[in-house]
Chain A
Amino acid sequence: MIFPPELEARFDKMLKAYPEGRQRSAVIPMLMYAQDAIGMVTPELVQEVARRCGVTALQVDEVVGYYTMLHRKPFGRHHIQVCTNISCMLRGGEELLAHASKRLGIGNREATADGQFSLEEVECIGACSWAPALIDNYEFHHSVTPEKLDQLIDSLQKKAQ
């Protein structure tokens, strides 16, 4: 597989960041950045990361299944991750998730038919003091209300058109 030049440059740098012979260390970061580029962890990506890091495909598979941010199915262009852990739960995180689910018409770890949005109930995202919170891809949104969520989705939909 060949990735965009900036990603290739990142991978080159990444492999050099770890001690000689310890290039297995790059497996997780490489999967994360490559997943962002191609949308999901494909079997080809597993093979490619295994090859670049000098490990077996099984060793990469072991990792993919372990970490929740790595996914083998495509998510939406906007992956909405709503936290419902205790701090968010106490301030309406579950209601927010339910609202998002209703508004987008999808359940947990599902994507809309147009591939625009996907939804996930996530564990604590480190936004406890500004709860409830959600992450759109990697962008944090704090003290979110159902109204603010609607506005966010509206604006994202508008941007897509």
Chain B
Amino acid sequence: MRLYNEPNPLEVKILTRRFGITNSHTLDVYLQNDGFQAFQKALGMKPDQIIDEMKASGLRGRGGAGFPAGMKWSFVPRSSPKPKYIVVNADESEPGTCKDRLLMEYDPIQMIEGMMIAGLAIDSHKAYVYVRGEYRYLIDLLDRVIDELYARGWLGKSIHGSGFDFDVYTHTGAGSYECGEETALLDSLEGKRGVPRLKPPFPAVAGAWASPTLLTNVETFSAVPAIIRDGGAAFAALGTPRNGGTRMFCLSGHIERPGVYELPMGFNLLQMINEVGGGVRGGRKLKAVVPGGSSCPVLKADECDIAMDFDALAKAKSMLGSGGVVILDETTCMVKFAMRIMKFYAHESCGWCIPCREGTAWLKKTLIRFHDGHGTSKDIDLIDDIAKNMLGRTFCALGDAAAMPTISIVEKFRDEFEAYLAKSSTTVRVPELTVV
């Protein structure tokens, strides 16, 4: 089976251990390679033991927010008389991120096994995999895999005589970045516009169809079998304190060997770029890195000697995010980069709250105008100020996600904006009216 990119010797292959094996997505291959061992083990564990193991693993949510997974599981009221649901967030759409695709393509059963173990832990028997609409081929693949699991007794009533029932369904999205936000995803799952919900109540208490719901990213569920099989402590030991295990890093942009690599948490970013990714493309100089998807504040080249874990990046006033590491070389125009990011957020803003709806649209128009050579000296401060006026004041994190990279780009590359402005006075592009 062809892989999208060659593996790297520095990788620590836990979630990707079956990648590269022919037909790794099939049940037979899965069973031949430790498949369902963790589930069998979990059947003999008490729910609290499973959750304790998850807590011990130090696994933090791989969708972007990095919330401790074990704690999240413990928030679901197991004794609630309502049905409890498991929902997989497979709405991977953070720019720079392309890892969940691989996990579902090469090892979908690993994820399903993780969901089943979660089902044992929180007493849930129904799960939905919300997959972004563009990944139709993965939905088709998952549907086939799920059919096979039912046919061979790994899903459905009393799985292999265990008395544990578990159903899994796929659910397609239809094109909306906002649906990656957990509560917007739930509204979308319920057939509505993908608009975020008020919290509290949190999904753990009232999620899908007002029932307790464990909503987690593909990669997080995919890590569960390894944690249960080999123990939480073993997983935790792979990473750094409070940042257990490995994670999938998606290297893209100006780099020699772009690709998705599984590396321990806390892996040094420069090493990642140079040794895993083969260095900046064409031997050019590194200018900046987006460390975890476009929502994260960018790091300048001199900030890149950093351990890639949640805490180290937070300390550097950025975020580990979703694992999308985008490398920008010295030729990158930061004005254009900021503009492209804002076009994206303006396009994806759901429109629910004022600061995000109006702020992203305003910033987009201003950045386009600036980029087209019609900037004024006031614009640089204005861009910074609009972004800051959004920050922390929007309904959900999308507004912050638009504001944070913008603020960081303007602050860290202000000289480039000023130079761009100076140059604009001599090389004005044809203006384009940006109406929306």
Contacts and interface: CB of A to CB of B under 8 A. Distances in A.
B47 interface: no
Which of B135, B175, B344 gathers most chain A CB within 10 Å?
B175
Contact of B83 (A19, A32, A33, A142): A19
Contact of A131 (B137, B258, B290): B258
Interface string A52-95: 01010001001100111110000000000100111101110000
A129 to B, nearest CB: 4
Contacts of B290: 86
B192 A67 contact: no
Given A90-B328, A128-B95, A142 B4 contact: yes
Interface stretch (B7-15, B19-27, B183-191): B183-191
A97 interface: no
B367 interface: no
A86 B340 contact: yes
Nearest to A23: B191
Interface stretch (B68-76, B246-254, B263-271, B378-386): B246-254
Given A24-B191, A63-B191, A142-B4, A126 B132 contact: yes
Contacts of A85: 95, 294, 340, 344
A22 to B, nearest CB: 5
Contact of A66 (B83, B132, B194, B294): B194
B337 interface: yes
Interface string A95-124: 000000000000000000000000000111
B98 A129 contact: yes
Interface residues of B, number: 58
B133 A67 contact: yes
Contacts, number: 157
Nearest to B167: A17
Nearest to B133: A69
Given A67-B173, A70-B175, A128-B326, A26 B252 contact: no
Contacts of B369: none
Given A86-B95, A90-B332, A129-B98, A25 B252 contact: no
Contacts of A129: 4-5, 98, 250-252, 258-260
A135 interface: yes
Contacts of B347: 68, 123
A25 B189 contact: yes
A26 B171 CA distance: 9
Contact of A123 (B93, B190, B260, B350): B93
A56 to B, nearest CB: 12
A126 B323 CA distance: 12
B340 A70 contact: no
B348 interface: yes
Contacts of B229: none
B176 A66 contact: yes
A67 B176 contact: yes
A32 B191 CA distance: 12
A4 B188 CA distance: 26
A124 B97 CA distance: 8
Nearest to B137: A138
A142 B136 CA distance: 16
Nearest to B290: A86
Contacts of B258: 128-131
Chain B at the A interface: SS class: mixed
A62 B21 CA distance: 44
A102 B96 CA distance: 27
A91 to B, nearest CB: 7
Contacts of A135: 134
A156 interface: no
B193 interface: yes
Contacts of A29: 171-172
A153 interface: no
Contact of B98 (A81, A91, A126): A126
Given A32-B174, A124-B94, A89 B340 contact: yes
Interface string B131-148: 011111100000000000
Contacts of B135: 126
A67 B179 CA distance: 10
Contacts of A53: 191
A71 to B, nearest CB: 10
Given A63-B193, A126-B132, A129-B260, A28 B95 contact: no
Contact of A124 (B93, B173, B194, B253): B93
A39 B126 CA distance: 32
A29 B171 CA distance: 7
Interface of B: 4-5, 83, 92-98, 100-101, 126, 128, 132-137, 169, 171-177, 188-194, 209, 250-254, 258-260, 290, 294, 324, 326, 328, 332, 336-337, 340-341, 344, 347-348, 350
28 contacts: A19-B83, A22-B209, A24-B191, A28-B174, A33-B172, A55-B191, A59-B191, A63-B193, A67-B133, A68-B175, A69-B173, A85-B95, A86-B290, A86-B326, A123-B344, A123-B347, A123-B348, A124-B94, A125-B134, A126-B97, A126-B101, A128-B97, A128-B250, A128-B326, A129-B252, A129-B259, A129-B260, A135-B134
Given A26-B191, A85-B294, 6 more contacts: A29-B171, A86-B337, A124-B177, A126-B97, A128-B324, A131-B253
| 10 tightest A-B CB contacts, nearest first | A69-B175, A67-B174, A68-B175, A27-B191, A24-B191, A87-B252, A138-B136, A128-B252, A124-B95, A17-B169
